[in-house]
Structure 1
């Protein structure tokens, strides 16, 4: 059974933009080509020439939606993430979780764990994502989630 996609005003998908708009740029990155697991990165404009002392904390967010709906590119999340990265002076990453019913649980939890492993590989220099490697401080990574995303935080840690 496939659920009809929601079409509320906050659920409009927004494309990524690597140019800064209102102080924030966004990028979609495939972190696992075999599973097609992707993340959206939100980078604030203010720290474009970072030094090791000025690198930004990384906030890894898992979205809610009862494991069935929601995406990081929805307008409602875009608005939250852009405010968050500017006010917290941090980089936000949100995971395009595999959704039920097409993907049975614990698929979304597995995606959360895979994302943590990806961040670990970046921190160890085993892989590279320029926005994170150049601007992110891997000694300050914070996991947050709303609704079912909070469950993923608990499972992925």
Structure 2
């Protein structure tokens, strides 16, 4: 893990490379029939999502092997079960070759720290109700279900998860 550095995504970084990482990271879920948006988004979709927050990338020898995009507060659709002024993150992705190394936990810790630094005391995310591995992983990191949601870009119901960032 020492050879992996975390830093903000910059204009000089490749949106196409980041998009390919997202496709690889979500490929197992796509193969299982779960249509996560990150599994098929275009580079333009990636650019649009990058503009909504701070994107952090994990680099190993100049190659993007992980990412997460964070925001201190964000606008949710009407009815979305999130507390006001909660922060969020999305596109948390780890290259399949780096799974089990702790990189996902490292990116999650970074995301939570940035959300707190940006002024939010709670974080809200969502993931597929059918992604038992992700639900268990987030549960081990202190996230609890607060509701459900159905996005129009996926083929599943999402579980909305929240965590307090207060000590």
TM-score by length of 2: 0.29
Which structure's relative contact order is higher, taking Cα pairs within 8 Å and 6+ residues apart? Answer: 1
TM-score by length of 1: 0.30
